[in-house]
Structure formats: C-alpha cells, structure tokens
Amino acid sequence: MAKDMMTKAGTWLFLLGVLIAVILGIVFPASGSIAALLAVIGIIVGLLNITAAEVKDFLIASVALIIAAGSMKLLPLIGAAVGNILDYFIALVAPAAVIVSIIAVWKLAKAK
C-alpha cells in the first residue's frame, strides 16, 4: 500500500513537472530557478517511479530526448518556444536518468 502511494506520488510529480516545463517554458524561458525545481522533481521521480523492468527503456528514451531536443530549436516560428519547453523537460528527465543509472550500476556491481 505504501509503495502504491509512493508510485502515485511520483506519477503526479512527473505530470506536474511536465506541466511546469510546458507552461513556464513559454512564459519564463531560461530560468535557473525553474530548472532547479524541475531537477529536484526529476530526482524524486527517478527514485520513486522507475522499476527495474523499465530501466533500459527509460534510459534509452532519456538519451534520445536529450540528443533530439537541440534540433527542435531550428524549426521556424515555433522552434524557440518548443526548444525552451524541451530544455525544461530535459531539466526534469536528466536528473531522473542519472539517479536511475546510478541505481542500475549499483545493482550490477552488487550482483557480482
């Protein structure tokens, strides 16, 4: 039961982070304090939400997002806004990816 509550909390935090990234990416682009808030949310999401079965898919998706996001800024008319949103989304996802990676490496090292 407690694990279910933690997973739900992590899910809601992730959705909140996405909402913050989208809205504030348009209204307040390139704010260090917003990026820091999203990073904290990302760390919590990484600790609460990603299961062992999801690690590989999550890390692949995170790397793809981080690599592809830069090219979105080149789109005419909407590129700047989309780029700002994705910058904040990366601020949310990258810390989660670091946490998940550290946990995965720890489990791999411990298993041997």
Q: Which tens digits make up the pLDDT trace of 65-84? A: 999 888 887 888 888 889 99
Dist. CA 43–CA 95, nearest whole Å: 5
Q: What is the DSSP letter of 51?
A: -
3-state DSSP helix/strand/coil percent for the chain, to nearest 5? 85, 0, 15
Question: pLDDT under 70 in the chain at which residues?
Answer: 1, 111-112
The per-residue pLDDT for 1 is 66
The per-residue pLDDT for 18 is 96
